[in-house]
Amino acid sequence: MEAAAEPGTRSWLGGGSPLWGSPASSPDLGSRGRARPGPGPGPGSGPGSGPERAGTRIPGPAALGHSFRKVTLTKPTFCHLCSDFIWGLAGFLCDVCNFMSHEKCLKHVKTPCTSVAPSLVRVPVAHCFGPRGLYKRKFCAVCRKGLEAPALRCEVCELHVHPDCVPFACSDCRQCHQDGHRDHDTHHHHWREGNLPSSARCEVCRKACGSSDVLAGLRCEWCGIQAHSVCCAAVAPECTFGRLRTMILPPACVRLLSRNFSKMHCFRISESEPGEGDESVDGSAPAAGPAKDVLASESSKQTLKIFDGSDAVQRNHFRVISVPRLARSEEVLEAALRAFYIMEDPRDFELQALPSSVQTGDTGGQRKARSGGTLEEEGSRGPGTQEASPEAWTIRALPRPEEVLKIYPAWLKVGVAYVSLRVTPQSTARTVVLEVLPLLGRQAEGPESFQLVEVLMGSRQVQRTVLAEEELLLNRLRDIRKTSLRQMGQTRFYVAESRAVVPRVSLFVGGLPPGLSPQEYGNLLEEAVATKAGLVSLSHIYSSQGAVVLDVACFAEAERLYMLVRDTSVHGRPLTALVLPDVLHTKLPPDCCPLLVFVNPKSGGLKGRDLLCSFRKLLNPHQVFELTNGGPLPGFHVFSQVPCFRVLVCGGDGTVGWVLAALEEMRYRLACPEPSVAILPLGTGNDLGRVLRWGAGYSGEDPLSVLVSVDEADAVLMDRWTILLDGHEASSAENGLADMEPPKIVQMSNYCGIGIDAELSLDFHQAREEEPGKFTSRFHNKGVYVRVGLQKMNHSRSLHKEIRLQVEQQEVELPSIEGLIFINIPSWGSGADLWGSDSDSRFEKPRMDDGLLEVVGVTGVMHMGQVQGGLRSGIRIAQGSYFRVTLLKPTPVQVDGEPWVQAPGHMIISAASPKVHMLRKTKQKPKKAGTPKDTRADGVPAPEGDPK
């Protein structure tokens, strides 16, 4: 067995991006980076497929695996390197990935071809693709073409792909946590190519690097700096997280053992409904690549259906190529390989005809030409024609007596990127480990301490398999190629230490009955989901909220419980299951004050869904929580040991009250008992957001600017009030006994209304519950308020006769009113000043931190409308810190926008301690974010001269 060590300290600069221009970033460039002669078309090439016509392929080396040929341009085209217009009729096109370049730019190309990009990934991390959507002026990262039809976008990074390009996308998502396999000393930039704004400026040369015409330019997904692909070699490799560095939860400080969980589960991202073609071996689209409708535009062309292995045949996942009818078999084979982004020697492969009895699709016939010889995913739709169905072929790898296999040193700290070994029919996993250790400088250690790990780097899931010591490697490679040639290109072999990873998964379970003991919760879970006592333990119990956190000591058991809990109901309530990470608080930098983000996607204009995606990209997705998935408790539990953090609540006033109430209950369990809370108003009224200067409502501002404003905000105090509701029904005539309701405690931040304003809020709430789909805009919501108000215009219930009010143990006589309102902040009903600005010697000037509530009355709907129009103020009744209200009849009540009908009884309002810390937006506007460089990136002196 021969062995050769390859030099190079690392093959990828940072979790998903290469060190552009570094020889170590492409150690195998010498064998793959050459143009192969022959005119065979590949994906995205051919007549009518783009702005060029086929030309002759030029001799000479190509950059990073590209196969360039000179083409004649037939419509305006831009260079993918410099993004400038290509003047003249000639350009240079890569037959595989559609990279277009000036002749003068060829020698500067640093972007790897799609065919070799998977081999350059340093640490494979799967993507989290959300539902399909329309992304204007965006480009696919695989085929580099525009996203005109509904496409997919990663919820964690800025990767955009066609649905049928997903199987060929690199598993190069952001690395957001440690998973027990790696331990990096420094954090490097995570470069993502293209889809930059046209105004983007290069961090090095300060020239424009963005383009809306082609996929060009690079951007770090952590710190946000942007650069040309040529210039980024001059940027220091270490990433400092840029402008938001104090707010980001560093990946090195988060640990999550996620062996059996997808990234969607790890980041608590709601999985989209599986659409047409959303399932495959790695969760990718059914058509293995950019398969679009095609028909040979000339009678001299023929279309062929190509499969890349047995798995594709079984699933009917194919690509269609268009080749001349007189093409030689070598040209057809080369075109078939390029359709699957395979740039290996065609002499190592052959095409085998697929028997007609096995073919399972395409009864429609040939189609209109498009995208250089590919079909729609199923390849079987559309009207039939007189042409016959495409012929089906399977690419097979020829038997090889021996192979050269790359063995990566996993996360061992050695001085090589990988080593190459010659594998023979007698080579086993154990013999490979024996040969590799001396090449890695570990010859003094015994082979029993190491194991050979096979890693399938799928775009949606990275699967690791430990190989048995006696497994024959050559047979293993043949089986992989027989199953799928595409998977062979995404498979790596690592030699890793065989240290046992102690399984530990934290599983949050919500929706349980509140108020139970630990023993009762344990018995309940054992009965509902059959928890195993030796593997599962209750680590945290939140009895008042009906939730527990389980410590699971087995990956398989954790996966079973997660899937089972989500399909289980207890006492008629569905349970919630979340996989939670561990924050390593001792590793946090001294100046780090991470931001805990809560988003309610149902608030106001339903803009929370876009904000969720934006904040996951700008921050660490482990610090962003969706409130409809478990509420605020999981977020506070994850941050319970963080010594200093802040909170951002994206929602309406009711959402803010929900989070503040959860914070009040969790305060004694937090290492940071008084985190400051900022607001991004998404609701209808947003009175607290107005008082704290966050605006009347979110209207699409740049989320980055919002985070900068939170970082610059001032801390202020705000009173919180406790309302004790002790209601009881009138005595029954039959038995003379009172039907008592159990007392209930409610927390208040903004205001509490009794009477007409609560009745309007209740009617609005009921209308929204009946038809939630109609309440998608703030303007419509206010229109509903106006409508229900007009319906109550002549309504009178003489509230002052139905209630009694005591202030500081003193009875207060009420005037003739229809509504009684207790206000804590100088904003009510979408910004109205209910107390008024006139001075009054009887009362102190109201403040939201003075420990006093103001009591105001309104005489009806007309009076409320005049207050909101600024024509009148309310009737000032009292000011104090302790109130007792006696309700003589069932009366509508609302607290911070949450209404209900309260039974007769008592309401006691008193100050809750301590005061809550809020963040108020500074008056001066932060520096305008003209480019991400100004807002996210640290300034780096630009070197003189233009590196391009």
Q: What's the pLDDT band for 140 if we cut at 50, 70, 90? A: very high
Residue 58: pLDDT above 60?
Answer: no
Mean pLDDT of 905-915: 88
Residue 17: pLDDT above 60?
Answer: no
Q: What's the pLDDT band for 882 if we cut at 50, 70, 90? A: very high
Longest dimension (CA), the chain: 102
Q: Is the peptide bond before 914 cis (omega within 30 degrees of 0)?
A: yes
pLDDT at 372: 33
Q: What's the pLDDT band for 774 if we cut at 50, 70, 90? A: low
Name the more confident of 658 and 62.
658
Distance CA 143, CA 146 (A): 9
Mean pLDDT of 858-869: 84
Distance CA 860, CA 820 (A): 10
The pTM assigned to this predicted structure is 0.82
Angle of helix 703-712 relative to helix 608-618, nearest 10 degrees, comes to 70
The token pair at 80 is 């993918």
Summary mean pLDDT of the chain: 79
Least confident interval from 285-294, 471-480, 736-745: 285-294
Residue 15: pLDDT above 80?
Answer: no
Determine the 3-state secondary structure of 197 from DSSP.
Answer: coil
CA nearest to 758, candidates 817, 819, 805, 800: 819
CA nearest to 579, candidates 567, 597, 561: 561
Q: What is the DSSP string of 418-469?
A: EEEEEE-TT-BHHHHHHHHHHHTT-TTS-GGGEEEEEEEE-SS-EEEEEPPT
Least confident interval from 143-157, 384-398, 552-566, 894-908: 384-398
Determine the 3-state secondary structure of 519 from DSSP.
Answer: helix
Mean pLDDT of 146-162: 90
Residue 605: pLDDT above 70?
Answer: no
pLDDT at 357: 60
CA distances from 403 to 273, 346, 709 (A): 42, 16, 57
**Cα torsion angle, 58, 59, 60, 63, sign:** positive
The token pair at 749 is 């931040």
Count of CA atoms in the C-beta half-sphere (13 A) of 658 = 21
Least confident interval from 62-66, 103-107, 420-424, 664-668: 62-66
pLDDT at 437: 87
Q: What's the pLDDT band for 293 if we cut at 50, 70, 90? A: very low
CA nearest to 460, candidates 219, 286, 279, 273: 279
Determine the 3-state secondary structure of 498 from DSSP.
Answer: coil
Residue 333: pLDDT above 50?
Answer: yes
Q: What is the DSSP string of 635-652?
A: HHHHTTT-SS-EEEEEE-
Determine the 3-state secondary structure of 225 from DSSP.
Answer: coil
Residues with Cβ within 8 Å of residue 408, at least 6 apart in sequence: 417, 418, 492, 493, 494, 495
β partners of residue 419: 5, 407
Residue 389: pLDDT above 70?
Answer: no
544: phi then psi, degrees, rounded to nearest 5: -65, -25
261: phi then psi, degrees, rounded to nearest 5: -115, 140
- pLDDT above 90 covers a percentage of the chain that reads 27
| Beta strand segments in 514-645, E | 536-542, 547-552, 569-570, 573-574, 576-580, 582-583, 595-599, 624-626
pLDDT at 556: 87
CA distances from 599 to 300, 635, 921 (A): 58, 11, 19
Q: What's the pLDDT band for 830 if we cut at 50, 70, 90? A: confident
Residue 388: pLDDT above 60?
Answer: no
519-528, 551-560, 615-624 — which one is most confidently predicted on average? 615-624
Least confident interval from 120-129, 712-721, 738-747, 918-927: 738-747
- pLDDT above 70 covers a percentage of the chain that reads 78
pLDDT at 199: 85
pLDDT in tens, 233-292: 899 989 999 999 999 999 999 998 877 678 888 888 876 543 333 433 343 333 433 333
Mean pLDDT of 739-766: 82
Identify the helix (H) or strand (E) that includes residue 314.
Answer: helix 310-315
Residue 508: pLDDT above 70?
Answer: yes
